[in-house]
Structures are given as C-alpha cells and as structure tokens.
Amino acid sequence: MLTVIGGLESKNLAKKIATTLDCKYVDSMTTVFPDGESKITISEAPRGTAIVVQTTYPHADASLIRVLSLISKTKKTASRVIAVIPYLCYMRQDMEFLPGEIVTSRMVAKLLSAAGASKIITVDIHSKLAINYFDVPITNTSAVPKLADYLKKSHAKRPLVMAPDLFWSKRAKEFAEIIGAEHTALNKQRDRKTGKLKILQKKSLDLSGRDVILIDDMISTGNSMILAAQYAKSCNCGRIFAVCTHPLLVGNAEENLRDAGVKEIISSNTILHKTNRIDVSDIITQAISLIC
C-alpha cells in the first residue's frame, strides 16, 4: 500500500506523483506562527509505504523542519517512509572549507534518517560527496536529460553548452551530447571569506553567430551565471539561455540575469517558479517505482 503526502511547498508535485502511481494522496496543513514556527497536521495516518514529498525552498530552514516533521509523523503509522526532496538544501556545505565551519550537509543527512526516512529521493543533488553522509539509501535523479530535450526545440544557433564552474562540466557534457553540441566549463573561483566570485578564464573564444546555453544545478543570486554571461558576451556570442534544475532565484536574480543579457531562464519544477518548463514528477515516479 502506497500513500503520497504533500508538504506545503510541493503539493502540486505530490498530487502528480500520486496520480501517476494511482495511489492515495494525503494532504498536509501548515500554519506558521508569528515567531516563525511551523505547525503541521496531516489529514490521515498513512499505513504501508508513505512517500513524503517536500522540497526545501523557499526558506531552507523552515522547509527542512517541515520535511523532518512530516517524516517523523508518518513514520509513526507507516512501515517505511520514502522522503522525496526534489531540491535538498545545505548540500553546498559539504566540507569544512575554512576552519570552524560546520559540515551542515552531514548534519542534514543524519537528521533525515533520525526522523525516520528509510530512503531519500532527490534531483540533481549539489554534492556527490554529501551522498556519502547519508546512512539511508539515496537516489539522485537528474532533470538534465529533460532540460536538454526542451532546449533541443529552442533552435539555438550552433550552441555552446557552458557550465559556469568546473563542478558541472560532466553534466554540461551530458547535456551537450543530448542536443548534439559542444560544451565547455569555466573555472569559477569563490573567495571563501567574502563570497566574491571571479572567473579565471584567460582564453577568449570566438562565439560570433553562436548561442550559449549556460547550465548549472541551481541559480541562487544569479551571480555565477551573470559572470558566465558576461564572459560569453565578451566572446561575441548570440543569444544566452540560462538553464538550471533548481530555480532559487533569490531577490532580483531574474532581473539581473536579464540585464546581463540572458534571453530566457529555463528551470525544472523542483522549486515552483514561473521559469519552470520541465516537470520532474515522472522522473521521481520512475525512481519510486524502482524501489516499491
């Protein structure tokens, strides 16, 4: 027996997953007190396998508590709990980059299993290293093939797929192979103290008459993509598309990206946003089917 429970930020996705799996959908109600605490209630106690669907944005900390609460509550009556967390926050803090920093990825991993998750499904987790911190099995799916399929239809001219940093060069390669294009990755450096970014790119490319597809796991402030867009512009490129799995798009990120010359922002619905073009519910359903 399968039951899907939709958390505040992922109800649409949860309903789609329940419909595809042809199983029961149980709603959750969230009240936020003036001091910021969340009070969560579920409309029915699930039996058998419970699938909790809750992304962790906006408000990373609050939605993390919400997903932990849902897991802990459903674990009381269900025999196992699969936590579907399409965007899993804190995965960038996977190392002690500067002395005294906390490896929060590891702590989040421990919290999820302590709450009662027996399995975690996510999409394009930021850190492969962080996967090792989980003591329950984790399935990391990817929106990249679907994002690439979408871009295939954009009629980009002799596109160059560009990752703003070396971390995503493998994904950029995968993306480029799907659309039959070339790819490159920039050497982005972040000052660990100030957070300031720079791109160490000495060579200028000739991109005249070519469109550029920037691709990353997430766009937060947009600064990484803005730097990459500026570099691409300096190489005389045509249109610039900014593609990501997780559209955090904090503050004026969208506007700033457009000011930097980005023609279109394309994202998946791991986080609800008007730039969503790709639905990840089928990717997640497939991953659930493999374990249920």
Residues annotated catalytic, as ranges: 188
Residues in 102-161 at the binding interface with ligand R5P, rule: CB under 6 A = 126
CA atoms of 51 and 29, how far apart (whole Å):
16
CB-CB contact of 125 with 107 (8 Å) = no
Contact between 254 and ligand R5P per CB under 6 A: no
Options 217, 232, 243, 278; binder of ligand R5P; rule CB under 6 A? 217
Show the DSSP H helices in 2-59 as ranges: 11-21
Residue 204 buriedness (CB in 10 A; 0-12 / 13-18 / 19+): exposed
Of 71 and 225, nearer to ligand R5P (C-beta) is 225
Q: How far is the CB of 268 from ligand R5P (least distance, A)?
A: 15
Q: How far is the CB of 84 from ligand R5P (least distance, A)?
A: 21
Contact between 93 and ligand R5P per CB under 6 A: no
For 226-280, the DSSP string reads HHHHHHHHHTT-S-EEEEEEEE---TTHHHHHHHTTEEEEEEETTS--TTEEE--
**Count of residues that interact with ligand R5P, criterion CB under 6 A:** 13
Locate tokens 């799916």: which residue?
Answer: 141
Contact between 218 and ligand R5P per CB under 6 A: yes
Of 211 and 217, nearer to ligand R5P (C-beta) is 217
Options 69, 139, 142, 220; binder of ligand R5P; rule CB under 6 A? 220
Tell me the three-class secondary structure of 146-162, residue by residue.
HHHHHHHCCCCCCCEEE
Binding mask 177-216 for ligand R5P (x = CB under 6 A): ---------------------------------------x
Write the CB contacts of 275 (distance below 8 Å, at least 6 apart in sequence).
247, 249, 254, 265, 266, 267
Options 224, 269, 270, 281; binder of ligand R5P; rule CB under 6 A? 224
Q: How far is the CB of 61 from ligand R5P (least distance, A)?
A: 17
Options 222, 275, 280, 283; binder of ligand R5P; rule CB under 6 A? 222
Options 167, 205, 261, 292; binder of ligand R5P; rule CB under 6 A? 167
Options 221, 230, 256, 276; binder of ligand R5P; rule CB under 6 A? 221
Token pair recorded at residue 279: 């639905």
Contact between 219 and ligand R5P per CB under 6 A: yes
- Can you tell me whether residue 140 is helix, strand or coil? strand
Torsion region of 87: left, alpha or beta (phi above 0 gives left; psi -120 to 50 gives alpha): beta
Contact between 266 and ligand R5P per CB under 6 A: no
Q: In the complex, which residues of this chain contact ligand R5P (CB under 6 A)?
A: 126, 164-165, 167, 216-224
